[in-house]
Amino acid sequence: MLRFALAQIAPRLARLQENLALHVELVQQAFAAGAEVVVFPELSLTGYFLRDLVPEVALRRDAAQLAKLASLTREKGMLAFGFVEETPDYRYFNAVAVCWQGCLQGVHRKIYLPTYGMFDEQRYWAAGRCLRTFDSPYGKIGVLICEDVWHLSLVVLLAAHEVDYAFFVANSPFRGPSSPEPDPQRTWHVLNACAAMHLAAPVAFVNRAGCEEGVIFWGGSEFLNPDGTLRARADLIDEQLLIVEYDPRQTRQYRISTPLRRDENLLLTYHELQNLLERRHSGIR
Amino acid sequence: MSTTPAQTRTKDRFPVRLITADARAAAEKLLQIDCPLVARVLERFVRDEVLRAGFHRVIVGLSGGVDSSLSAYVAVRALGRENVIGVRMPYRTSSVESLAHAQLVADDLGIRLLTVPITAQIDAYFAQFPDADRLRRANKMARERMTILYDLSMAHHALVLGTSNKTELLLGYGTQYGDMACALNPLGDLYKSQVWLLARWIGVPEVIVHKPPTADLWIGQTDEAELGLRYRDVDRLLVLMIDARWTKSMLIEGGFAPEFIEDVAERVRRSQYKRTLPLFAKVSHRTIARDFRYSRDWGT
């Protein structure tokens, strides 16, 4: 049995030290409750509406703050949290750090940056250019950040990477007041369920809570089984540390009963895409 | 309260045309709100934004109308009744009913209610300008009330809570730096029809929800007569035009009169200045609000 902790927090805007302390506290709380894996939302160390603060709160991969959080996993467990990554050539990424065995093991950089409606991300962020997965002691992990999940191509790639678990972390704002279930919750649940079924793997979706800059983040973090059914769901809007138990043998059962993953023909996908892109490139439609 | 030139307007300035069933259904669907959820959202908004600013109390001008009443009910749910102060600021022509309804809200909520009349200062000021028209007087009164709220805000260490709804804000039906002035406004993204729905659900007394909306800036004033529009109609138009991005031809197909569409679109365009910061002449490489971009919640 594996215990996941979905840390639905409301970080303060650009207050790294306070947010770091909150992370430490919640990781300790989660470990004390028997959790092995703790997942925080997108930009959990900094808050969302950073705008010109992006470079001011950015951390290099060797930053003490990242080492501090990684060190919490020295004896046991695994941790994923959001931060602003600065590269040596001064690009800034909306990133998720993945840690175990006391070390920062890898980083996923947000690939798709929404820049429409209320979102303005391409103004402030560099876009990630690759998809990495993480071979953790608990299995192979895939991480996507918010808008990434809306591009199903990335879910297909995670399946190609044969991940055992997917972490989808988000800062999804509330809008659409007409039903008891917020509009984005309905949409996200469809995305999460669809991804879980395609991956034939559990999905941990962790959204943030609270209000920032007049925008309410609706929370509602959820854990889905490989068949897309809902295993557990956190409250709307408010902070919560949701602990979810999952028996990895359920993945085996699902993959036996629904062997989509076995039958997936990546070579066909690859050739079709190649042909399509070649035709497009040469102007043939 | 409008800052557009005063003119005689009657209800139904526009040819009466029924909008189609499809347009009505689309608009009503968008105007529908789940009251428990919206109340929760607004409560969290008020609580977080007040605390982030380093306060724990709000002050709200109570006109006796549905908007300011709803703001007060939301604030009490967010912060507790001991942290909400209501203020009545009557002028000598203010209706007795407005004062009584503000009292009703304060009594029902159990909040502190202050009364600060504005007659003396308004009359002293206009003694210098006896020919001032009623719109000038109305705007002056709205701004007088603003200065009182901001003064009391400091005295009571309480943020000024706004009460303008989305319909008024889009139409520009409000006084800039007057009733539009506030630190935060829980109602700014709710149309008037949605304010009515939520007010009823949250427990604003029916007599307040039901009465014709008025800024009560002169005797007998009502919003709908002054605007020459009915809130129900204009909300349907606005929600399709603004929220659903219907084009003019779609709106005409939906049965809205072209003159009505144009009038409303023009009001929205003309009042854009009221919804933005003043313009700053760009001189430096980094200009406030243009390329100096920080959130208001910066570091909180």
pLDDT at B13: 65
Choose among A203, A207, A204, A202: nearest CA to A217: A207
Residue A216 near chain B (CB below 8 Å): yes
Which domains are seen in chain A, by residue range? Answer: 2-259 (3.60.110.10)
The pLDDT value given to residue B210 = 95
In this predicted structure, what is the pLDDT of residue B3? 41
Q: Are A239 and A75 in contact (CB under 8 A)?
A: no
Q: What is the mean pLDDT of residues B115-138?
A: 97
Please indicate if any CB of chain B lies within 8 Å of the CB of A2: no
- In eight-state DSSP terms, residue B159 is E
Contact A13 B36 (CB under 8 A): no
Banded pLDDT at B12 (limits 50, 70, 90): low
Distance from CA of B72 to the nearest CA of A (A): 18
Give ipTM to 2 decimals.
Answer: 0.94
The minimum CA-CA distance between A160 and chain B, rounded to whole Å, is 38
Per-residue DSSP letter, B84: E
- Structure-block tokens of residue A57: 């709160």
Sequence-distant (≥ 6) Cβ neighbours of residue B83 within 8 angstroms: B56, B57, B58, B75, B158
CB contact under 8 A, A51 and B293: yes
B38: which chain A residues are within 8 Å (Cβ-Cβ)? 177
B223 contacts: CB under 8 Å, gap ≥ 6: B173, B212, B213, B214, B215, B231
CB-CB under 8 Å, A212 with B48: yes
- Partner B, chain A 224-263, Cβ-Cβ below 8 Å: 236-238
Return the number of CB contacts < 8 Å for A and B: 68
The SS3 of residue B277 is: coil
pLDDT at A279 over 80: yes
Distances (CA, A) of A230 to A30, A131, B152: 21, 26, 51
Mean pLDDT (whole number) for B264-284: 96
Could you report the per-residue pLDDT of A64-121, keeping only the tens digit for each?
Answer: 999 999 999 999 999 999 999 999 999 999 999 999 999 999 999 999 999 999 999 9
pLDDT tens-digit readout, A8-34: 999 999 999 999 999 999 999 999 999
Of B33, B294, B297, the CB nearest to A52: B294
B31 vs B243: CA distance, rounded Å: 10
Specify the pLDDT at position B141: 98
For residue A233, the cross-strand partners are A222
What is the per-residue pLDDT across A152-205, written as a single tens digit (0 to 9) for each?
A: 999 999 999 999 999 999 999 999 999 999 999 999 999 999 999 999 999 999
Closest-CA distance of chain B to residue A44, Å: 14
Out of B37, B47, B295, the one facing A13 most closely (by C-beta) is B295
Average pLDDT for chain B: 94
Run of H or E residues at B37: helix B35-52
Cβ distance B298 to A180 less than 8 Å, yes or no, reads no
Q: How far apart are CA A47 and CA B227, in angstroms?
A: 42
| Residue B56, both tokens | 């724990």
What does the block give as tokens for A193? 């369920």
Closest CA to A196 of A230, A236, A233: A230
Give A236's strand partners. Answer: A219
- How does pLDDT run across B194-235, given as a tens digit for each residue? 999 999 999 999 999 999 999 888 888 899 998 988 999 999
Question: In A, which residues are within 8 Å of B50 by CB distance?
Answer: none
The distance of A43 to chain B (nearest Cα, Å) reads 15
* A252-273 as b/e: b if 16+ CB within 10 A: eebeeeeeebeebeeeeeeeee
Q: What residues in chain B have their Cβ under 8 A from chain A's Cβ atoms?
A: 29-30, 32-34, 36-38, 40-41, 44-45, 47-49, 184, 194, 292-300
Rounded to two decimals, what is the model's pTM?
Answer: 0.94
| Pair of tokens at residue A94 | 């909306």
Please, which pLDDT band fits residue B23 given cuts at 50, 70 and 90? very high
Q: Do B299 and A182 touch (CB under 8 A)?
A: no
Residue B18: band (very low, low, confident or very high) from pLDDT cuts 50, 70, 90: confident
Cα–Cα distance, B62 to B112 (Å, whole number): 11
Tell me the sheet residues that pair with A205.
A168, A222
CA–CA min distance A229, chain B (Å): 24
Q: Which residues of B touch A219 (CB under 8 A)?
A: none
CB-based contact B298 A216, cutoff 8 Å? no
Spell out the residues 6+ positions from residue A75 whose beta carbon is closer than 8 angstroms to its own.
Answer: none
Segment B158-187 mean pLDDT: 97
Tokens standing for B33? 């709100």
Burial annotation B28-39 (CB, 10 A radius, 16+ → b, else e): eebbebbbebbb
Q: How many other C-beta atoms can be found within 10 angstroms of the C-beta atom of residue B201?
A: 17
pLDDT of residue A44: 98
Name the residue facing B297 among A180, A213, A238 (closest C-beta). A213
Asked if B44 and A212 come within 8 Å (Cβ–Cβ), the reply is no
Using a CB-CB cut-off of 8 Å, the residues of chain A touching B242 are: none
Per-residue pLDDT band for A225 (boundaries 50, 70, 90) equals: very high
- What local confidence, expressed as pLDDT, does residue B1 receive? 42
Backbone angles phi, psi at A34, to 5 degrees: 90, 5
Token pair for A73: 């996993």
Q: Is B103 exposed, middle or buried (0-12, 13-18, 19+ CB in 10 A)?
A: middle
Nearest-angstrom CA–CA distance, A146 and B116: 50
